[in-house]
Amino acid sequence: MVLFWQPPGFLVQWTPSPFQIAGVAYSCAEQWMMACKARLFNARDVLAQILATADPEQHKRLGRAVPNFNSELWERHSLQVVIHGNYAKFTQNAALRRELVDTGSRLLVEASPHDRVWGIGLAANDPKALDERRWRGTNKLGQALMVVRQLIVEGREPSPPPEKALLQCGG
């Protein structure tokens, strides 16, 4: 089991890790995720602000301010969005790719005590974090990263490829 949460960890969405998708540069996976959220809800002003800063804290804040947000629609797309962004992050940086692949078949776990959707709702130093049955969250980020790891190991791309996924997000 690999428990992670805050930067500078290589699995963390906020850690600086530049990549490009469809000719657009992203400073980190969080920027990609929030940019897709803004695109999906046609929030062009918010999108421009997200793309104008490399600060993941601002990305998250702006992502929460997307007008006309629909949680059901975001839920349908968010996992694939995160898979695509992390696929680009880990395939465009050889060192990051190696680190991800070197996790082997271990369970990847976002030990965020504050996030019950993308994380497990528990801190890494909480003994319950080591017992999946006691988690308070779904570990969606960990699941996405394990999908990315498997795709890389198998030499496959996510379906659809990231460029087409961007189009599905209105980009």
Q: Are strands 19-21 and 2-4 parallel, antiparallel or unpaired?
A: unpaired
Element holding 109 (H helix, E strand): strand 108-110
Q: Which of 80, 88, 79 is nearest to 29 (CA)?
A: 88
Q: How far apart are CA 71 and CA 82, in angstroms?
A: 16
Q: Which domains does the chain have, with CATH numbers?
A: 2-168 (1.10.357.40)
What pLDDT, on a 0 to 100 scale, did the predictor assign at position 28? 98
Above 80 in pLDDT, residue 1?
yes
What pLDDT, on a 0 to 100 scale, did the predictor assign at position 138? 97
Q: What is the pTM of this model?
A: 0.93
20 vs 159, higher pLDDT: 20
